[in-house]
């Protein structure tokens, strides 16, 4: 298995997960041209994708899904709640239950619900029968269910959206600060580290921080928080950033 990021942040998100002959894209918050350019940078063409999986209906995750899917005839999967909130009715969509696993080619897909201010948001664990890759972004708080789903993963892409002090002292209006830092907002560095510290991390080969705010966080702060929880060198922690994303990480 392996995974990569097209880019991660408030201006667009997309994550690739691949096993065997199957490659899927989680979310697409980029234009068709930009998504194609970022896919090609990672050695993939849009028409080779087996599907697009959508976590929720916010624009930085879904704005490019319909156009990309129609242009290259890519199947799309999302929850019923996300579909109800989706404004692009022309795109054919397969609906999945956020509590039930299903398969796309060589990939096992295990969705799980998360607290976020969307209609029916979910995140995913992907498997190939041996290895497991967890993807967790756009989550307001760690929950016991999230912990159980991510426990024992071989790789993890985890949201480190903001540093709590930077958010509190930053220029966002009070309502936006409350939303971002609230239970249905985004994980702070400290919350991500808390979750990481509770996980069984013995199998972890890769950890990547994702969805960093460009105003309320830094890569150094995110790395240090996760490294502290794992008692590892901060440079071992990868960062999926907005412009360059994250190159392929092999999970063996």
CATH number, domain with residue 92: 3.60.15.10
Digit-coded pLDDT (tens) for 50-66? 999 999 999 999 999 99
In sequence order, the 6+-apart residues with CB closer than 8 A to the CB of 190 are: 164, 225
CA geometry: angle 134, 21, 247, nearest 5 deg: 50
Digit-coded pLDDT (tens) for 177-199? 999 999 999 999 999 999 999 99
Domain count, the chain: 1
Q: What does pLDDT average to over the chain?
A: 97
Cα Dmax for the chain: 48
- In this prediction, residue 90 has a pLDDT band, given cuts at 50, 70 and 90, of low
Cα radius of gyration (the chain)? 17
Own/partner pairs, 87-90, CB within 8 angstroms, 24+ separation: 90/66
Q: What are phi and psi of 104, to 5 degrees?
A: -130, 105
Q: What share of the chain is helix, strand, coil (3-state, %, to 5)?
A: 30, 25, 45
Q: Give me the mean pLDDT over the 123-144 stretch.
A: 97
Residue recorded with tokens 């970022």:
38
Check: CB of residue 252 under 8 Å from CB of residue 155.
no
Check: CB of residue 4 under 8 Å from CB of residue 16.
yes
Its domain, for residue 210, covers 2-250
- In this prediction, residue 91 has a pLDDT band, given cuts at 50, 70 and 90, of low
Is the pTM here over 0.95, yes or no?
A: yes
**Predicted local distance difference test score (pLDDT) of residue 87:** 75
């Amino acid at each position: 298995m392996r995974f990569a990021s097209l880019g991660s942040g408030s201006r667009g998100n997309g994550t690739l997960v691949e096993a065997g002959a199957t490659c899927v894209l989680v979310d697409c918050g980029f234009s068709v041209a930009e998504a194609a350019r970022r896919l090609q940078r990672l050695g993939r063409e849009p028409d080779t994708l087996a599907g697009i999986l959508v976590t929720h209906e916010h624009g930085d995750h879904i704005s490019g899904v319909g156009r990309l899917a129609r242009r290259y005839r890519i199947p799309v999967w999302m929850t019923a709640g996300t579909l109800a909130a989706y404004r692009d009715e022309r795109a054919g969509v397969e609906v999945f239950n956020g509590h039930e696993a299903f398969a796309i080619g060589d990939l096992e897909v295990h969705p799980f619900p998360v607290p976020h201010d969307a209609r029916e948001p979910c995140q995913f664990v992907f498997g190939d029968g041996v290895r497991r890759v967890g993807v967790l972004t756009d989550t307001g708080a760690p929950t016991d269910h999230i912990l159980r789903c991510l426990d024992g993963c071989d790789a993890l892409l985890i949201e480190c959206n903001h540093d709590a002090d930077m958010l509190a002292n930053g220029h966002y209006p009070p309502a936006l600060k409350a939303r971002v830092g609230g239970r249905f907002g985004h994980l702070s560095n400290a919350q991500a580290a808390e979750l990481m510290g509770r996980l069984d991390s013995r199998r972890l080969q890769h950890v990547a921080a994702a969805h960093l705010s460009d105003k309320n966080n830094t890569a150094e702060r995110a790395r240090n928080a996760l490294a502290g929880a794992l008692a590892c060198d901060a440079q071992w922690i990868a960062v999926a950033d907005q412009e360059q994303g994250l190159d392929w990480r092999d999970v063996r």
